[in-house]
């Protein structure tokens, strides 16, 4: 598949996905939703991919949904949004459930769907100039793209309501203080730092990372007993991989493990 709105590069076990509509503020249109979904499938199915890095081209990370495209759909707007949101949500679900950790490098404003996508990352870095704003209700819309799932978990319910109802714009530093961003770095160093984080993840125990991601997805929804059983199945299952026994042997032998990701 030839991509029109994103770039996908795989090197040294890291898949870098770059949102690439700089002339349109990197806005999400139907084509981009489909291409993100395709990229998520490629990353989850390629055993060589052990970390994913998502960023944007230019000065914007993603300004949200392409409202012009939505408007031009006329009476087909509801069906158009069902199709586009369903495809985008398939991509976000795939990123959330895949073994590879997903690193987000927010290079500029993350609004609307871009705001939601940033919240769905496993590790989030932001350039000092980056801004975060929900923006949905400013256009008379309700959120999509996972923000109603992740935001309250990151910042608490009351602060989530504040951001979603008022469309308050947060600086990168504020987003870090609120728990939406792991680290703020100078723009000139953003990709270098993000690549370093992704590379470190790519050399780690990929199956263990995947199990951890899926356990955390149910941390707020399952009962204690169910979560404990998930933990039991997860940790015992690691003994059926290469990296689990190898990690134990390396620790006991006081050696640095060389994880293979399977």
State the catalytic residue, choosing from 24, 38, 80, 89. 89
Is 246 a known active-site residue? Answer: no
The candidate with the shortest Cα–Cα distance to 121, out of 186, 34, 183, is 183
Is 154 a known active-site residue? Answer: no
Query: What burial class does residue 154 get, using C-beta atoms within 10 Å of its C-beta: 0-12 exposed, 13-18 middle, 19+ buried?
Result: middle
State the catalytic residue, choosing from 66, 99, 122, 144. 144
**Quick check: helix, strand or coil at residue 260?**
coil
Neighbours of 219 (CB within 10 A): 10
C-alpha span between 21 and 226 (Å, rounded): 43
The candidate with the shortest Cα–Cα distance to 247, out of 260, 257, 232, is 257
For residues 65 and 27, the answer to whether their CB atoms sit within 8 Å is: yes
Q: What is the DSSP letter of 78?
A: H
Tell me which residues are annotated as active site. Answer: 89, 144
């Amino acid at each position: 598949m030839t991509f029109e709105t994103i770039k996908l590069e795989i090197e040294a076990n890291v898949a870098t996905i770059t949102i690439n509509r700089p002339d349109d503020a990197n806005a999400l249109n139907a084509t981009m939703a489909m291409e993100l979904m395709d990229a998520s499938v490629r990353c989850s199915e390629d055993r060589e991919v052990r970390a994913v890095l998502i960023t944007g081209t230019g000065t914007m990370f993603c300004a949200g949904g392409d409202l012009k495209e939505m408007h031009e759909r006329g009476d087909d707007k509801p069906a158009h949004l069902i199709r586009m949101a369903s495809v985008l949500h398939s991509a976000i679900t795939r990123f959330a459930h895949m073994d590879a950790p997903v690193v987000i490098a927010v290079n500029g404003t993350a609004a609307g769907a871009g705001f939601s996508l940033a919240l769905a990352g496993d590790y989030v870095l932001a350039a000092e100039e980056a801004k975060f704003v929900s923006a949905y209700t400013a256009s008379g819309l309700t959120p999509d793209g996972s923000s109603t799932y992740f935001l309250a978990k990151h910042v608490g319910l009351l602060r989530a309501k504040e951001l979603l109802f008022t469309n308050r714009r947060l600086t990168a530093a504020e987003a870090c203080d609120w728990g939406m961003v792991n680290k703020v770095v100078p723009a000139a160093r953003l990709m270098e730092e993000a690549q370093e984080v992704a590379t470190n993840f790519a050399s780690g125990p990929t199956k263990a990372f995947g199990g951890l991601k899926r356990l955390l997805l149910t941390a707020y929804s399952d009962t204690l007993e169910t979560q404990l059983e998930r933990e039991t199945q997860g940790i015992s299952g690691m003994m059926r991989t290469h990296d689990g026994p190898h990690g134990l042997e390396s620790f006991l032998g006081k050696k640095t493990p060389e994880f293979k990701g399977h």
